[in-house]
Amino acid sequence: LNISHDNSRVSAVLPTGESVEVLLFGATIISWKDAKGNEKLWLSEAAKLDGTKAVRGGVPLVFPVFGTAPDHAATAKLPQHGFARSSRWEFLGKSTSESSTLSATSAGDDSVKLDFGLSPSNLTEESKKAWPYKFGLIYSVTLGKEGLTTSLVVQNDGEQAWEFQTLMHTYFRVKDISTVSITGLESSPYLDKVLGPSSTGEPYTSPSAAVSLSSKVDRVYTPAGGPEAAVIIKEGGKKKFGIVRDNMNEVVVWNPWKDDAQGMGDFAPKDGYKEMICVEAGAVKGWQKLEQGETWEGGQVIMAAN
Ligand code: BG6
């Protein structure tokens, strides 16, 4: 097991060759490779990795608001997707992971867990002012032979109750978006951020077929199978990734497609939208409320097929 840690990032390589790299900025996972060295995540060639902007690609962590929430007074002043992805986290250390319900891997030296922490003392004055609550986050990234697990513990360290949303904004790398299909979202209610609200104001319901993409997609699904049912990303009919969630009721599917990719200064190459799909596990519908001293835990296990 090989762990390296410098002032800006932590990386780990398993004896079998799998690797992961996490920036302290945002605790953003910027690389995850299998034993053969194949990259599983999409990272923009123009992504800023120097802390000047949230990272375009990899796995940015969204907290305490998904998108913007102008009608939710407590988070109304925050930037899109909150401050966690653009704050500098602390590396708390590594451990070999025990087998748990969230672990995709066997126990022992075959997997490694990297822990990162964020609390008000890590925030800029501006973020602290915009969201003046006492909180503690522990984000764990576990690399195993079969997959990658990300889990988040959120704690209310203050006297006052507060509410949050969170999401793991995974950019999966694919070869050709035109052959990608996603299963596990059949017959599920969803909000469509491209189409806007339906005429009845009720959520849309997805058909009983797999989801495929041929234009911009930005949808928030509440999978009918519940949080434990796997969401599978296939390419050319073959399973590529499987995602199992814990305490994350929603799945966001996003691809900016040609025009929006063009409009993003940090999105490169411009036709890179053909090689990515964001499938994001989150708790983003309504709010998770924590009273004094309470904690919340959620996460995902991502299994990669060869
Ligand atoms: C997705 C949202 O999660 O993130 C989209 O559903 C948004 O609406 C996308 O465009 C990217 O957000 P950002 O802030 O990283 O450009």
Instruction: Render pLDDT for 119-172 as a digit per residue (tens, 0 to 9).
Output: 999 999 999 999 999 999 999 999 999 899 999 999 999 999 999 999 999 999
The percent of residues in the chain predicted with pLDDT above 90, rounded, is: 91
Q: Is 160 labelled as part of a ligand binding site? A: no
Q: What is the pTM of this model?
A: 0.95
Average pLDDT over residues 166-191: 98
Q: ipTM above 0.95?
A: yes
Cα 96 to averaged position of ligand 1 atoms, centre (Å): 33
| Structural domains of the chain sorted by starting position, each given as residue range(s) with its CATH number in brackets | 2-304 (2.70.98.10)
43, 59, 81: which to mutate for ligand 1, most atoms within 8 A of CB?
81
Q: Is 79 exposed, middle or buried (0-12, 13-18, 19+ CB in 10 A)?
A: middle
- The confidence band for 105, taking pLDDT boundaries of 50, 70 and 90, is very low
Half-sphere exposure (CA, 13 Å, Cβ side) for 190? 23
Distance 67 CA to ligand 1 centre (A): 7
Cβ neighbour number for residue 54 with a 10 Å cutoff: 24
pLDDT in tens, 8-51: 999 999 999 999 999 999 999 999 999 999 999 999 999 999 99
